[in-house]
Amino acid sequence: MSLDPVALTADLVRCPSVTPEEGGALRLLEGILTDAGFACTRVDRNGVPNLFARWGRQGANRTFGFNGHIDVVPVGDAAAWTHDPFGGEISDGWLWGRGATDMKSGVAAFVAAAVDFVRETPPDGAVILTITGDEEGDSVDGTVALLDWMAAEGEAMSVCLVGEPTCPEHLGEMMKIGRRGSMTAFFTARGVQGHSAYPHRARNPVSAVARLIDRLASHELDQGTEHFDPSTLAVTTIDTGNPATNVIPALCRATVNIRFNDLHTGTSLTDWLAAEAERVQGETGVAIDMTVKISGESFLTPPGSLSQLVADAVEAETGIRPEGSTSGGTSDARFVRAHCPVVEFGLVGKTMHQVDERVEVAQIPALKAIYKRVLKEYFA
């Protein structure tokens, strides 16, 4: 009997799995996959729930992997929702609820595709599913923990397809063949407090931060590369916490976020930021400290057999040839790429993280059909 991905999506949405809570989602999937002959292992780490499932023998010559997450962001104001955010209700052709788009529908589609595929045409090889509860959080103990466990246990994927929503408007129009890197820099400028009428007796950290931020924001990092748009730097906050108009504060903080292409690394950009901060410190006499958080490096899976396989399957099922893109934010593909070639393809993501998150019901079985075709063609 074919596994219904719409019903499974609804069941998953009804699991309140706000990061890092599992909410019953992985228990549900583990039961379904075990019944289908998958060997399942919970790979929880530091309270984060993760599931590894493999059909076929370990060390098979060909192993196709899927990766996804069941954790979701908070619902916000539940009263603002048209439908219960954890109700999994179907209305007007849409399935409503937190995670309906990002990405319980994607997980349901690849689970259903994998279960049907191994039951109908057992492949010469293995199918691995890695499902985490820590993609929307710090992402330290999710897919990273699964990959660490796999390395220790001798488990490996030959290639991997991540089921994140990738299409802007219509199912089939875009897949991700890479992602920009992401990093955040936090600056703290420490000056000398004083009266605004006597600025020569103070050392103004706000002026120093303004000078630094202007230089950073007006600097052109690059003009883009063959597969990437130009890198961007966004100023996200400048804070002094100063309510007085006649006081020069002693402290000012600022934060910038950089999304960068393959012309840069987190280290090279950190060096540039530090040099600019040191330059302003020398000009103003205001001490500027910096800390940096690198969320992920840029990466690219060069167009080749995997991207062609996915693109061919998408076109066969939808009539649309997907564009290979590196746009958008980060995903767990940034971790998988160190393990094996990885591509991302999933549903339309317009409502993800919004109030009234929802997915068009018809897209879910269509996505399952794409994933199932990918498996058939990979093992053909």
Angstrom CA distances, 312 to 61, 173, 254, 364, 373, stand at 23, 12, 46, 19, 9
Q: Is the pLDDT of residue 165 over 90?
A: yes
Q: Is 135 a catalytic residue?
A: yes
Residue at token pair 């719409």: 6
Inform me whether the pLDDT recorded for 1 exceeds 90: no
Q: Which of 116, 135, 297, 360 is catalytic?
A: 135
Per-residue b or e along 97-115, where b marks 16 or more CB atoms closer than 10 Å to that residue's CB: bbbbbbbbbbbbbbbbbbb
What is the average pLDDT score of the chain? 97
**Angle between helices 266-284 and 205-218 in degrees, nearest 10:** 140
Of all residues in the chain, the percent with pLDDT exceeding 90 is: 99
Q: Which residues, in sequence order, are CB contacts of 279 under 8 Å at separation 6+?
A: none
Beta strands (DSSP E) in 138-228 are 159-162, 174-176, 178-179, 181-190, 194-195
Cα 281 from chain centre: 36
Residue pointed to by tokens 């937190």: 98
The pLDDT tens digits for 368-378 are 999 999 999 99
Q: Is the pLDDT of residue 227 over 90?
A: yes
Angle at 66 between CA 60 and CA 71, to 5 degrees: 140
For 93, counting Cβ atoms within 10 Å of its Cβ (0-12 exposed, 13-18 middle, 19+ buried), the class is exposed
Task: Give catalytic status of residue 11 as yes or no.
Answer: no
Q: For residue 329, what pLDDT band results from cuts at 50, 70 and 90?
A: confident
Q: Is the pTM of this model over 0.75?
A: yes
- Residue ranges and CATH numbers for the domains of the chain are 5-179+298-379 (3.40.630.10), 181-296 (3.30.70.360)
Residue 313 tokens read as: 């399957």
Q: What is the mean pLDDT of residues 77-89?
A: 97
Which residue in 11, 22, 30, 71 is the catalytic one? 71
Cβ neighbour number for residue 240 with a 10 Å cutoff: 17
Structure confidence at residue 94 (pLDDT): 98
- pLDDT for residue 60: 95
What would the pLDDT profile of 48-70 be if each residue is shown by its tens digit? 999 999 999 999 999 999 999 99
- Write the Ramachandran bin of 352: left for phi over 0, alpha for psi from -120 to 50, otherwise beta: beta
Q: What is the pLDDT of residues 166-200, one digit of tens each?
A: 999 999 999 999 999 999 999 999 999 999 999 99
- Tens of pLDDT, residues 7-63: 999 999 999 999 999 999 999 999 999 999 999 999 999 999 999 999 999 999 999
pLDDT recorded at residue 355: 97
